[in-house]
Amino acid sequence: MLNTPCPTLALPMTGGATFDTHSLRGQAFVLYFYPKDNTPGCTTESADFRDHHAAFSAANCRIFGLSRDSLKSHEGFKTKMTLPFELVSDPEETACTAFSVMKMKNMYGKQVRGIERSTFVIDATGQIVAEWRGVKVPGHVAEVLAFVQKLA
């Protein structure tokens, strides 16, 4: 995916808006894929992006979180976590498929299909300029921010 155009997507997101990659041209953004609202790793990762939001904004970069959860779930998670950015709902796995983030994972000894925690940076021209797959949460947001600040 690296150094390829961002897939064209139009998906519902919190705040009653549409996440439309075509209309985002002209500005850089981070798209982070996470497995599920209100789970420990996803809560920590979202809080880290929240806590670094001002620094991403200062680097002219927007943040979007994406999972397969419903908009209703996303709205509750966003409110509970006081997230200053929007969450994208992808129950049909449109974006998940386009970014190849669906994987078989072990959960409590069982094989389950789910989102592999992944983050992508898309530059102002619409190119995917960085990707992290199989993300471990501690330190990840700081690493993404350092990349974005070099880009700015």
Range 135-151 average pLDDT: 97
| C-alpha to C-alpha distance for 63 and 57, rounded to whole angstroms | 9
Separation of alpha carbons 70 and 108, rounded Å: 24
Rounded mean pLDDT, 83-87: 98
The matching CATH number, chosen from 3.90.226.10, 3.90.800.10, 3.40.30.10, 3.40.190.10, for 10-151 is: 3.40.30.10
**Rounded CA separation 138/151 (Å):** 22
Alpha carbons 69 and 5: distance in angstroms, whole number: 26
Residue pointed to by tokens 């021209």: 125
> What token pair was written down for 91?
């129950």
Which pLDDT belongs to residue 1? 81
- pLDDT for 107 equals 75
pLDDT tens track for 22-65: 999 999 999 999 999 999 999 999 999 999 999 999 999 999 99
Q: Which one-letter DSSP state was computed for residue 90?
A: -
Q: Report the catalytic residues.
A: 42
